Amino acid sequence: MKVLVLGASGLAGAAIMRTLRAEGHTVSGTCRVPSGGSAMLPFDLDEPQSIVPLLEQARPDAVVSCLRGDFDRQLEAHALLADVLRRENGMLVYLSTANVFDGDLSRPHYEGDAVCSDSTYGQFKIACERLLRERLGQDCVILRPPEIWGRSCPRLDSLLERTRAGTPIQTYENLSVNYTTDIQIARWTAFVLAHGLRGVFHVGTVDTSDYTAFLDRLAEGLDLPRPVYHVGRNDTPAYQAVLPGRNEIPEKFQLSVGAVLSFLSEGACLS
């Protein structure tokens, strides 16, 4: 399969490219300014309409969108992308977010739950999901990850820097969260494409963890001192969690919070 990864220089996009290539797909990726000798294709979100000649050049069977940037320009680019894919009978895997549920933190959410967001980011992602599903129907697969971690990622770098410096980290009382990794997202994307799956998937751990406890355990696993926290008050239990409820994904691709912590702190294999 010929696949184009939009936003391939980011954490998830880079992992998706590596995994798809390892599985024998012909994969190209985009970034804003390719470096010398890079195999990346240039795509600048400041010019959303440039996605049309990009697609004509790449002629992919499937596109994986990990784009980030200005919300209005993303919407314009995705609308043009969907029109081309519909005309060419291509499919799209769109990386959304758990924030489509941040308007209802009373419980964890599954794929069939109605979206509800109070944040600008979550509302943008809802608008993008709806646009893509309206234009592509079942040819648009939506992946909703919670917090994404990797062995080299901004979140981990920030934890290391702030903990060593004693800089407070924002956390919250009574908040349960689930997590994912760049590798899990990449493996699920590859499986979805290989098996022609459709619909919405929540790509995250099958369980949740107290938000502060997760950071405590991760710091301990990395031999760091306990972080200093700025704790936000939350009088009632809250959940920022998108739990996987689809049974098509094999158990070997499912993760627990403990497996994520082991991967980040001990280099354990996630297979």
User: CA dihedral in degrees (155, 157, 158, 161; nearest 10)?
Assistant: 160
Average pLDDT over residues 26-37: 81
Over the chain, what is the mean pLDDT? Answer: 94
2-147+179-202 classified as CATH 3.40.50.720: yes
pLDDT at position 32: 85
Contacts for 21 with CB less than 8 Å, ≥ 6 apart: 27
pLDDT at 183 over 50: yes
Model pLDDT for residues 94-110, shown as the tens digit of each residue:
999 999 999 999 999 99
pLDDT at position 62: 98
pLDDT at position 152: 86
Give kind and range of the element (H or E) at residue 210.
strand 209-210
Average pLDDT over residues 64-82: 97
Average pLDDT over residues 46-67: 96
pLDDT at 18 over 50: yes
pLDDT at 34 over 80: no
Model pLDDT for residues 139-150, shown as the tens digit of each residue:
999 999 999 999
The pTM (predicted TM-score) of the whole model is 0.95
pLDDT at position 164: 94
Domain locations along the chain: 2-147+179-202, 153-178+207-240+256-266
pLDDT band (50, 70, 90) for residue 259: very high
